Amino acid sequence: MQSQSLITTPPPLCQTLKMKCDLFRGHWVEEVRGTLLYTNSSCSTIPDSKNCFKNGRTDKDFLNWRWKPNNCELPRFDAKAFLEMVRGKKMGFIGDSVARNHVESLLCLLSPEETPMDIYKDSEDRFRRWYFPRHNFTLMILWTKFLVDGNERMINGTGTSAFDLHLDKVDNAWSDFLPEIDYAIISAGHWFFRVMYLHEGDNLTGCVYCNEPNVTKHDISFAVRMAFRAAFNHVNSCKKCSPGLVTMVRTFAPAHFENGAWNTGGYCNRTSPLNDAKAGLRSFDWEMRNIQVQEIRTAKKKKKQKFGVIDITRAMLMRPDAHPGANWGNKWMKGFNDCVHWCMPGPIDYWNDFLTAVIRKESGLGS
């Protein structure tokens, strides 16, 4: 049976508005899938660091769960329909390595329909472009740590892991490309857990994780809020951007280190999801998510550009079982676990189910 087009026959997300459908509130239900949309061997673009089975993971139970929103259903990803929806468009994922993980999932989900041309890769493999010629669709990752301009302080050519952030200047690494993009997916967060000196213009206005005399001390949430505010203000003031630009925030993706941090023996070796009660809404993860949602809602009120939210935080708080953990194949960092990124295939693939729904809504293609 051929897939139906999302444009001509959109699958119903809920039957009536009275059902109060919220795609991002729900729970994971056990469902043994007969066939995955792709496997770790069928998708040739999975990086080794996310290929958990290749790196020794043996349990597969974490694959047998489906996200069930309250009062409605989330349609599974349809590669043919997605590519028709973005035909002739350019989509940019703006963020760090977790944003890259999201792109890697999308590439695998699209691979059964069309294999893209890998048309650009920088020397550090941080900026990438793929082109789908049959659909004239360009997919890109624009790598940025903080969304705003941030430079590491160096001593004798060695990094100090302390950064100067200019909260009134967005990172040109992504902003220079914004005018050519039709869909921008913005995310950030994990790089903010370090010493930061905050600047506006020529003035040092504060710092995070520092102990400097006569300098205002802030927590991480302040720096995150100001960075996202600067990014969304830039989008709204972009005169060269497409009038149809749709900007989305992908909310904070929680890490799940237990019994320590990444460099103090922390691990993530669970094999099944948490239920909502056990997952809770851990205060800091949820605070990060709330900041991002609040700032994009403020930007949306200005009504200069279209904004949407891919709200994955609640769903992913419940998935400590889906990280590479020890199975990430990094021979230079043996003994350290990756509890930040996500195995592929895995629940990260649902981020693209959410992405499809948000694009449809914000582009006026249906609810």
H or E stretch at 222: helix 220-236
State residue 367's pLDDT score: 54
Between CA 25 and CA 28 the distance in angstroms is 10
| Three-class secondary structure of residue 193 per DSSP | coil
124: tokens are 């550090």
Lowest mean pLDDT among 54-58, 327-331, 340-344: 327-331
Query: What pLDDT, on a 0 to 100 scale, did the predictor assign at position 7?
Result: 39
Percent of the chain with pLDDT over 90: 81
Contact by Cβ (8 Å): 256, 280:
no
pLDDT, averaged across the chain:
91
Residues 6+ apart with CB under 8 A from 93: 99, 100, 102, 103, 139, 140, 141, 142, 185, 187
- Which of the following is catalytic: 149, 171, 285, 338? 338
Statement: residue 1 has pLDDT above 70: no
For 37-90, what is each residue's pLDDT tens digit?
999 999 999 999 999 999 999 999 999 999 999 989 999 999 999 999 999 999
For 305, list phi and psi in degrees, rounded to 5: -135, 170
Any idea which residue has 């809602």 for tokens?
Answer: 297
Q: Which of these, 224, 245, 249, lies nearest to 148 by C-alpha position?
A: 224
Q: Which of 166, 199, 323, 341 is catalytic?
A: 341
Go through the domains of the chain in sequence order and give each one's CATH number.
23-362 (3.40.50.1110)
pLDDT of residue 333: 72
Provide the residue type at 253 as one letter. Answer: A
Q: Label residue 11 by pLDDT band (50, 70, 90).
A: very low
Q: What is the mean pLDDT of residues 102-108?
A: 98
Tell me, yes or no, if 59 is annotated catalytic: no
Pairing of strands 128-132, 137-143: antiparallel
Positive/negative CA dihedral, 106, 110, 112, 115? negative
Torsion sign (Cα): 85, 91, 96, 100: positive
Query: Does the pLDDT of residue 184 top 50, yes or no?
Result: yes
Percent above pLDDT 70 for the chain: 92
The pLDDT tens digits of the residues spanning 111-132 come to: 999 999 999 999 888 999 999 9
As a three-state string, the secondary structure of 120-158 is EECCCCCCEEEEECCCCEEEEEEECCCCEEEEEEEECCE
**Residue 34 has what pLDDT?**
58
The reply to whether 311 belongs to the active site is: no
Amino acid in the structure at residue 66: R
Q: Sign of dihedral through CA atoms 207, 208, 211, 214?
A: positive
Check whether 264 has a pLDDT greater than 90: no
Question: Once rounded to an integer, what is the mean pLDDT over residues 328-339?
Answer: 83
**pLDDT tens-digit profile of 268-287?**
999 999 987 777 666 789 99
Among residues 97, 221, 242, 272, which one is catalytic? 97
Q: Which amino acid is at 344?
A: M
Distances (CA, A) of 341 to 102, 116, 244, 325, 338: 9, 23, 31, 9, 6
DSSP state of 12: P
Q: Which residues contact 31 (CB under 8 A, 6 or more apart)?
A: 64, 65, 66
Predicted pLDDT of residue 366:
63
Look up 97 and say whether it is catalytic: yes
Least confident of 31-40, 267-276, 323-332: 31-40
Q: Summarize pLDDT for 203-255 with one digit per residue, the tens.
A: 999 999 998 899 999 999 999 999 999 999 999 999 999 999 999 999 999 99
Phi, psi (deg, nearest 5) at residue 64: -95, 45
> pLDDT digits over 138-149, tens only?
999 999 999 999
Q: What is the pLDDT of residue 8?
A: 40
pLDDT band at 4 (very low <50, low <70, confident <90, very high): very low
